[in-house]
Amino acid sequence: KAGVTQTPRYLIKTRGQQVTLSCSPISGHRSVSWYQQTPGQGLQFLFEYFSETQRNKGNFPGRFSGRQFSNSRSEMNVSTLELGDSALYLCASSLAPPLAGGLGADTQYFGPGTRLTVL
Amino acid sequence: AQSVAQPEDQVNVAEGNPLTVKCTYSVSGNPYLFWYVQYPNRGLQFLLKYITGDNLVKGSYGFEAEFNKSQTSFHLKKPSALVSDSALYFCAVRDLGSGTYKYIFGTGTRLKVLA
């Protein structure tokens, strides 16, 4: 079974630009979460989607947005990029969120990440 | 508020020796607890989880973790470390009592196994 795929793997942008990252979950998984990983802040939760609905949101500004499509693929968008947005963006998929799919259904499986560099 | 603490930034251990990577948590309800490992330039790989039942959980690559409710800990252990175990390890918790069920990750512990 193919794992979680993320595209692109590497991206270089300049301040003020916007960027869209894509995530394809494991086949059959309907829940997708996004995380930002930086050396200083560690792993920070961005948002979680299930059945095209945002179920959870982390403490990030409105410049960060996401969506999920009917085939469970997800995209996240960052507008008006800042230098501090440089990070590894990780996508994770699971069968379902907690309690919606039974015990353990929400184990998350991560993609390789998209490395975003903002110059 | 939910939180996860990994008190050690780095753990060094000699190959063949037992290893422990520490994790403590704070949640309002019953926790789901997870360990993940990250190798350089890779995403996180799932190692093991505790949801309910036996406090000793066995996972991938010979790792295990013990859930201790009274100490609110979920330490990762392996009886005999390998050089290839060198990586960044993350503990995570889902708080089922919070209503949001967000995943909260620790800051990570870098494990270095010395040959």
> pLDDT, tens digit, for every residue of A39-95?
877 889 999 999 999 988 888 999 999 999 999 999 999 999 999 999 999 999 998
- Per-residue pLDDT for B75 more than 90? yes
Q: How far is the alpha carbon of A116 from chain B, nearest alpha carbon, in Å?
A: 13
Give the bridge partners for B112, in sequence order.
B12
Locus of tokens 């469970």: A72
Q: Is B82 helix (H, G, I), strand (E, B) or coil?
A: coil
Rg (CA), chain A: 14
Give the pLDDT of residue B41: 76
Q: How far is the alpha carbon of A43 from chain B, nearest alpha carbon, in Å?
A: 6
Exposure string (b/e) for B52-87, b if CB count within 10 Å is 16 or more? eeeeebebeeebbbbbeeeebbbbbebeebeeebbb
Q: Between chains, do A103 and B106 touch, taking CB under 8 Å as contact? A: no
Instruction: Report whether A107 contacts A2 (CB < 8 A).
Output: no
Question: Exposed/middle/buried for A20, CB within 10 Å: 0-12, 13-18, 19+?
Answer: middle
Residues in A closer than 8 angstroms to B45, CB to CB, are 110
- Rounded Cα–Cα distance for residues A10 and B59 (Å): 31
Q: Which residue of A has its CA nearest to B31?
A: A98
pLDDT, mean of residues B40-58: 88
Give the pLDDT of residue A102: 57
Q: Between chains, do B108 and A43 touch, taking CB under 8 Å as contact? A: yes
Instruction: Report whether A34 contacts A76 (CB < 8 A).
Output: yes
pLDDT, mean of residues B26-50: 88
**What are the two backbone dihedrals, phi and then psi, of residue B84, each rounded to the nearest 5 degrees?**
-70, -10
Which of B32, B44, B46 is facing A90, going by the closest CB pair? B44
- Tell me the residue ranges of DSSP E strands in chain B: 3-5, 10-14, 19-21, 24-26, 31-38, 44-50, 56-58, 64-68, 73-78, 87-95, 103-105, 109-114
**What are the two backbone dihedrals, phi and then psi, of residue B40, each rounded to the nearest 5 degrees?**
-50, 135
- Rounded Cα–Cα distance for residues A41 and B33 (Å): 20
pLDDT in tens, A6-23: 999 999 999 999 999 999
Mutate to test the interface with A, among B51, B102, B104, B109 (most CBs of A within 10 A): B102
Of the pLDDT bands very low, low, confident and very high (cuts 50, 70, 90), residue B40 is confident
Q: Between chains, do A56 and B102 touch, taking CB under 8 Å as contact? A: yes
> β-pairing, B64-68 with B87-95?
unpaired
Comparing CA positions, the residue from A58, A76, A79, A59 lying closest to residue A67 is A76
- Per-residue pLDDT for B66 more than 80? yes
Give the pLDDT of residue A2: 80
- Per-residue pLDDT for A106 more than 80? no
Q: Between chains, do A104 and B49 touch, taking CB under 8 Å as contact? A: yes
Residues in B closer than 8 angstroms to A54, CB to CB, are none
Mutate to test the interface with B, among A24, A26, A110 (most CBs of B within 10 A): A110
Mutate to test the interface with B, among A5, A26, A43, A99 (most CBs of B within 10 A): A43
| A10-14, B8-12, B47-51: segment of lowest average pLDDT | B47-51
Q: How far is the alpha carbon of B10 from chain A, nearest alpha carbon, in Å?
A: 14
Q: Which pair of tokens denotes residue A40? A: 């200083």
pLDDT, mean of residues B8-22: 97
Q: How far is the alpha carbon of A47 from chain B, nearest alpha carbon, in Å?
A: 9
